[in-house]
Structure 1
Amino acid sequence: MAGIVFTQAAEDYLADLLSKQDSEGVGIRVFITQPGTPYAETCIAYCKPGEQKPEDELLKLDSFNVWQDAVSVPFLEEALVDFATDRMGGQLTIKAPNAKVPMVNDDSPLNDRINYLLQTEINPGLASHGGDVKLVDVIEGGIAILQFGGGCQGCGMVDVTLKEGIEKTMVARIPEINGVRDATDHSVTENAYY
């Protein structure tokens, strides 16, 4: 797996911006807010000497240092920072395909594999009804405890969705899972989808 990559155009653009800072040794810090969620945002900020955190990972480019937030590093796999010129001058772009969900494989921790499946395959279908589901825990016997939210909470079809859709998919795709259980209080029906 390749971590975050800066194109030469992006490095040149950022080096020019950093050269205009009033202190020496300014680098950049890359982090993701709410990593691993549908709301993840990839951010780049100036990082003056001493502002980096001890657990940050250092990436040395030719022109400056890049400090990567330790929690964000797995979500920055295959990220690309580029700069494209246009009539207005140009634009820095950050493509981080794993910001919302980290890359997983058969060796990844069980919770990561379950969350990846929920975010990439199950929640997109539930989103059409304004709903979502998240993992609460995995208990003895390979039972995944799930929490429904949004339009799924209080929906009369949630049992069918759970057993016919989510459970069948999870059992088929994740060998350690033998079933799923709902931890949601479905007596709250204000936002339920009907």
Structure 2
Amino acid sequence: MKSVILLGIKHCGKSSQSVLLGKKLDFDTYDTDQVIVDMTGKSAREIYTESGEEAFKTAEAAACTFVSDKIAGCGRSAVIATGGGICMNPAALQILRPLGTFVFLCAKEDIASERIVREIKIDAEGNLCNLPAYIAKRNPRSEKDVRDIFHEFYIDRDRMYSGISDIKVIMDNAPKAVNADRIIAALQKLEARVN
């Protein structure tokens, strides 16, 4: 089996599924957001906030190049968890595309929305904090605003990820191991169809 590249919005389960799939398939695992931290000393969110979108995209593409080189160097397949906005970074996608299968982990909207709302913090002035950048830049004033902004975003990203992925797997509100088995079954089905 080729390497597996996990795509999808924030909170769809890419990081946790990459670890589970790596164990089940005996593949190495990489998380591009963690590689960015290792390479720059800053999180994806910090780079985006401090230096802007283009600086973040450059860091993300560099992280993907690093992962690609590591895979080429060891000759083993890997499971790669990508950042939630990689669909907006053609350079990064171009680096990852030759490595294997793009798998869109599609979290149900209500589950993903709930995970985002759960992480909201409120500062001393009553502003909502700890939001994904794409929500924060719209200055939501309430939980309802956050959910409304997320809804628009979810529809757009579902369309984008469906368009670039080889497989779309709906992530049920089920134990992580159950979803991992569903991903493997979808990969095996694709492989059988190709061969």
TM-score with structure 2 setting the length: 0.25
Tell me which protein shows more helix as a share of its residues: 2
Tell me which protein shows more strand as a share of its residues: 1
Pick the structure with greater CA Rg. 1
TM-score with structure 1 setting the length: 0.25
